[in-house]
Amino acid sequence: MNTLQSWVPLVIIFVNGSRSEPSEFCSKYFLENPLQHYCLPPTYSKDVLPKMENGSALNISIDFILTQVIHVDDIKLTVRLAMYMELSWIEPRIQINHKGIFNHTDQVILLSLRQLEQFWIPDLEIIELEGFRSPNTIMRIGSFEMDLDKLLRIALPVEITVRCPFNYDEFPMDEQTCPLRFGSFGYQSDLVIFSGTIKYANEKQRFLKYHVKVKDMPQSEKQYLYQVGEQSPESYSTYGFDLVLIRDQQAHLMRTYLPTGVLVVTSWISFLVDPAVVPGRMAILVTLLLVLINVSNSISTSIPLAKSLTAVEIWLLSCLGFVFAALMEYAYLLYYLMDARHSLNAFQRRN
């Protein structure tokens, strides 16, 4: 499974923490180290889930700024996204040095990303994750902050590749929805609840063969049940968004529908050719039929797999049917003319 531990730089926000007096251990620590901003009690364990004072579930907020959809792979059924992520929750066990360097104008301090290893981190799972990458330069790109309300913030840009349940039965007039879901791998909804926001900065979107829309996930999907065998179902909280991809049809209209439609109309023009001119009319129809077969084979190998015939395949079969029907009509006409000629010759011999 892909959890948050596999990529330390994220965005963490603690909200509405209490400003309680530090414990005896931390008070002594602050006296000896007045420049230190926070203290972790000796009983602190980064492997233990933070417990809220009112006994409620820990709220973890995930905020996304989707900068662009980098690539949509119709063959592998994956989508690669570039975004900024923010993950937030309350850690009440932290002791803040209110008498230290904090003042009314300096409410937030920057910490090193290496210090993140001291704290409890959510076991974040990205459903149907195919790949995860955090761009780096000389060092890891990201930030880690803390404020007086025990709020921690980790921020960084990421690239995520997820598998999507695409259905190409209506290709190329299809509209696909790729759900991106984030949740806890091990903590059920009575311990951890996820929430968040999503923004799409479409001004940075590169050209795609899709038009992109972003929707918040349905309320009914923010809780899901997981059950193995006859065990009691387990309820987990999730948050995410739906990526709606509407395919651009202009290219397919110009490259597929228009040329094949012209070929069908050309087959109808062959009706104007004198039926007695067999080489001319037959050459037109046979050539058109072979061209359509070649186009159909070329397109069939390049379109994504579907459960049934796609819309473009149905169109190509229809075009083949029209041209083949024109060819059969001419064959019947030749048979009719030949039969009429034989009947005329037989009538002339009898007379």
| Secondary structure (3-state) at 126 | strand
Q: How many CB atoms lie within 10 A of CB 90?
A: 22
CATH architecture designation of domain 4-248: Distorted Sandwich (2.70)
- Per-residue pLDDT, 68: 94
- Per-residue pLDDT, 248: 92
CA angle 89, 94, 95 (to 5 degrees): 145
- Per-residue pLDDT, 104: 46
Grade residue 230 by pLDDT with cuts at 50, 70 and 90.
Answer: low
| Secondary structure (3-state) at 152 | strand
Which residue ranges make up each domain of the chain? 4-248, 251-350
Please, how many CA atoms are within 13 Å of residue 287, restricted to the half-sphere of its CB? 10
pLDDT (mean) for 190-203: 91
- Per-residue pLDDT, 180: 95
Helix 258-269 with 278-300: angle, nearest 10 deg: 160
pLDDT (mean) for 258-272: 92
- List, for residues 126-157, the tens digit of each pLDDT value: 999 999 998 887 777 888 887 777 877 888 89
Where do runs of H (alpha helix) occur along the chain?
24-32, 250-252, 258-269, 278-300, 311-350
Q: Can you name the CATH fold of 251-350?
A: Methane Monooxygenase Hydroxylase; Chain G, domain 1 (1.20.58)
Which DSSP string corresponds to 268-300? Answer: HHGGGS-TT-HHHHHHHHHHHHHHHHHHHHHHH
pTM of the complete model: 0.79
Is the per-residue pLDDT at 16 higher than 50? no
Q: Which two tokens stand for residue 350?
A: 């009898």
Q: Answer yes or no: are the C-beta atoms of 13 and 153 closer than 8 Å.
A: yes
